[in-house]
Structure 1
Amino acid sequence: MPLLRIRAERDRMSAMERRIADYIVENAHFLRDYSSQQLADALGISQSSIVKFAQKLGFKGYPDLKFSIGEALARDGGNGNGHAHDDTDAESTQAHPHAQVADDLWRRKSLAEQETRLLNPPENIDAIARAIHRSNAVFVIGLGEDGIPARAFAMKLSLLGILAVHHFDPALMAAGLSGASKRDVLLVFSEQGQQPMLSRMLQDCQPRIGHVISVTRHSANPLRAQADMTLLVSAHDDRPHIAPLLYQAALQHLLDLIFVLLCDAREQRLAAVNTNLERMQEILSP
């Protein structure tokens, strides 16, 4: 999935690398006709810059990158996103006026989830799940809209029998963290990772707590830099009403994966989930 990898890494690239990345993504179907020198000429840069770009992505050189992109396009029916088009899609679009919108949204969400998965290696996910599994308590915070997934994840941890302390106020969370220990974990949800209040809270509590896990976009930000573990979300769209939907979908997929790993970590965890769900159903039943 070379095009997915390029999109996922884009925000961490230099200005020149972003130019190369954007050109390759936009012209992927024509890349087979470009040599590294022709691509460099089209961008007005040196041939060595193209070679270094390919190597930075983990390829031996530009021919290896070009071949990988060509294979991906052929395998995925020509779109490079892992979803081949077929005649059923075309018929559906003609039959339903909103079908094209629905199909585009589904594809964009799927792409965001795939990019997010590439940004979070399995060993990092395992380490975070292990830290939560072994903790005495998990403190969870998110401000504003970030509070919604924070609260939902804290509830899932509670279903597992894990002590989860959720706050939406940094001052209250700071007070709660005064008794934290090295066996505890702090999960900080912040899409942009820019809130100064959260940064100050982390500075105060970090010497006492075992792990600080930030949940942010994968762009560079203060909270990500302060945390010793990170969950990174990739979601790009020029439309301001679509971008948050992609972020929420990719984030939810990431959190669901951790929840499932925690369920599988110990039989008692899964038993606790089933028991607590039954109790909730009994309480809500008329």
Structure 2
Amino acid sequence: MSALLTIRSRRDQMSAIERRIADFVLDNANLLRDYSSQQLANALGVSQSSVVKFCQKLGFKGYPDLKYSVGEDIARADNGDEPPATSAPEHPADAMAAELWRRKSAAEEETRSINPPGTIAAVAAAITLAGEGGKVFLIGLGDDDIRARALALRLSLLGILTVHNFDPAHMAASVSAACTGDVLMVFSEHGKPPPLCYIARCFRERGGTVVSVTRHTSNPLRAYADIALLVSAHDEEVHIQPLLYQAAAQHLMDRVFVRLCEGGRDQQLRENLERLQPMLEP
């Protein structure tokens, strides 16, 4: 495994100081050759021994060994070469993981092709408008609530007021406070639950914009939407198909989030993340 890939794969298990060193190495790999261990320590405000221990914990003899390995990674990337393969045969679990990733990638590519940049821009514009004094309502049932909840948190970090609920009755009551310019995002894989269709219809009657996130099929919920985001994820194996849908749908929401950040709300995101960081650090 390459040095950079090793650092990425083990970052979540690192201490706060180790993560600081890891992030610097990952973000400045091309510049690492110009840094001694002491210079790196000074740049990060840590001790030189912390840098050495970081390298040794990853399996390197020391900082020079890590720097040399990172340099090899960069050289291989510049030459378009893959990391050298081992002589051992591929483990069945690795083959399964690679095949699952291939299927997820195919589902994401299909989903991207049916949601052109203009559609993503329209959703981002509606959310941006709602964020200027209005609200964004989000609802999903079952597994769909995972994506609704995640997006609600991200929008909140961008300074956008969100109303998230997984209970249709409570959401129906909340919708009574909707105004023109507000946005309702409804997550439903098959787009058929009558309560969600009812909520969407009521929301439109109050002058709001409805955005549906469903499969690429004809469904009642999609018919109520002003903007329809579509997910294409199909597989013959019943245990694989939901995984493909979840991956493609999440990537679709990530595209919307990135568009919002690029629209000028990235500074608000940084400020909120800094404010929350003391609560998240051990």
Shorter-chain TM band? 0.5 to 0.7
Gap change, CA 1:92 and 1:117, over 3 Å in 2: farther
1:258 & 1:92 partners in 2: Cα distance? 42
Name the residue aligned to 2:280: 284
Gap change, CA 1:113 and 1:89, over 3 Å in 2: farther
Name the residue aligned to 2:89: 94
Gap change, CA 1:235 and 1:176, over 3 Å in 2: same
2:144 & 2:180 partners in 1: Cα distance? 25
Which residue, 248, 269, 272 being the options, matches 2:246? 248
Name the residue aligned to 1:34: none
Name the residue aligned to 2:267: 271
Answer whether contact 1:142 1:168 (CA < 8 A) is retained.
Answer: yes
Describe the superposition over 1:6-42 as per-residue Cα deviations: whole angstroms up to 9, x where unpaired.
xxxxxxxxxxxxxxxxxxxxxxxxxxxxxxxxxxxxx
Q: Which moved more, 1:193-202 or 1:158-167?
A: 193-202
CA offset at residue 277 of structure 1?
A: 1.2
CA offset at residue 285 of structure 1?
A: 2.5
Q: What letter is aligned with 1:159?
A: L
Name the residue aligned to 2:104: 109
CA offset at residue 210 of structure 1?
A: 2.3
Q: What letter is aligned with 2:112?
A: R
The root-mean-square deviation of aligned C-alpha atoms, in Å, is 2.0
Name the residue aligned to 1:197: 195
Q: Runs of 4+ in structure 1 displaced over 2 angstroms?
A: 86-95
Question: Helix, strand or coil for the counterpart of 1:238?
Answer: coil
1:186 & 1:260 partners in 2: Cα distance? 19
TM-score normalised by the chain length of structure 1:
0.66
Question: Helix, strand or coil for the counterpart of 2:205?
Answer: coil
Describe the superposition over 1:30-83 as per-residue Cα deviations: whole angstroms up to 9, x where unpaired.
xxxxxxxxxxxxxxxxxxxxxxxxxxxxxxxxxxxxxxxxxxxxxxxxxxxxxx
Is 2:159 aligned against 1:164? no
Pairwise mapping of residues 110-259 of structure 1 onto structure 2 (< 5 A)?
110-135=105-130, 136-259=134-257
Question: Helix, strand or coil for the counterpart of 2:239?
Answer: coil
Larger radius of gyration: 2
Question: Helix, strand or coil for the counterpart of 1:213?
Answer: strand
CA offset at residue 90 of structure 1?
A: 9.3
Answer whether contact 2:203 2:209 (CA < 8 A) is retained.
Answer: no
Describe the superposition over 1:77-114 as per-residue Cα deviations: whole angstroms up to 9, x where unpaired.
xxxxxxxxx99999789332212101110100000000
Answer whether contact 1:234 1:247 (CA < 8 A) is retained.
Answer: yes
What is the number of equivalent residue pairs in this alignment? 199
1:277 & 1:209 partners in 2: Cα distance? 33
CA offset at residue 156 of structure 1?
A: 0.5
Between the two proteins, what is the percent identity of the paired residues? 56
Pairwise mapping of residues 47-66 of structure 1 onto structure 2 (< 5 A)?
none
Question: Helix, strand or coil for the counterpart of 1:141?
Answer: strand
1:96 & 1:265 partners in 2: Cα distance? 44
2:173 & 2:226 partners in 1: Cα distance? 21
Gap change, CA 1:123 and 1:93, over 3 Å in 2: farther
Q: What letter is aligned with 1:283?
A: M
1:254 & 1:151 partners in 2: Cα distance? 15
CA offset at residue 240 of structure 1?
A: 1.2
CA offset at residue 206 of structure 1?
A: 1.4
